[in-house]
Structure 1
Amino acid sequence: MDALKSISSTAASGMRAQAERLRVVSENVANASTTAEQAGGDPYRRKTISFGAGTDEATGAAIVEVSEIAKDMGDFKLRYDPSHPAADDNGYVKMPNVNPLIEMSNMREAARGYEANLSMMERAREMRSQLLNLLE
């Protein structure tokens, strides 16, 4: 097994996972104010992402995979706005269960994870280059 290839495989899987996490966070932030189209209907429901361990068949390296993208079944916020087209009979509009502070925290964590994996890829590339220089 080529250790440098395994490092690249593992780091690449981490970058893919964090990019997918960032996509989910982006959807949540974009829809943080999206209400239902009909009165009393449900608005956008926040998405969550879970990761799981896997194995790269080509290298045998441990990798990370997206195991599930699910909907957060937490309660919706209610906002009193009887003139809103999505308001129920009591004048309340269901708002998405998206908390922008949590999403921003998830965004920063995804970005840091991506950067850490990118650093691993760069180090593996540098080591590969050094090895080739030694063999010349």
Structure 2
Amino acid sequence: MAVHDDCKLRFMELKAKRTHRFIVYKIEEAQKQVVVETLGEPAKGYEDFTKCLPADECRYAVYDFEYLTEGNVPKSRIFFIGWSPDTARVRSKMIYASSKDRFKRELDGIQIELQATDASEMDLDVFKSRAN
């Protein structure tokens, strides 16, 4: 599975310049490559992010999660999310699962990985508990 150059470029913008809050990636099966599907502006929040994940299709996503530590120190962690809902086609789940590690290696700077099959597996409490 090839990775479109735009995927890495947009990720570097998120990591270095904070020009995006999140990025949703999609595998274009016809071209056999991962492409950027959605870019979330810095002002967008968690709700906007979850609305970009289709209910019955797999996706990869990167989310820049900002939070406060117990000492009220602002921090952020870059999450990689493998979104594979139970209602997705089996073939799609297999393609996403088999190419995930290679794709993730292309994105240098991922700090935490989540695998989610429904919204409850990646709600804000999960992000908070994994970030600390």
TM-score normalised by the chain length of structure 2: 0.31
By relative contact order (CA 8 Å, sep 6+), the higher-ranking structure is 1
The structure with the larger Rg is 1
Which structure shows the higher helix fraction? 1
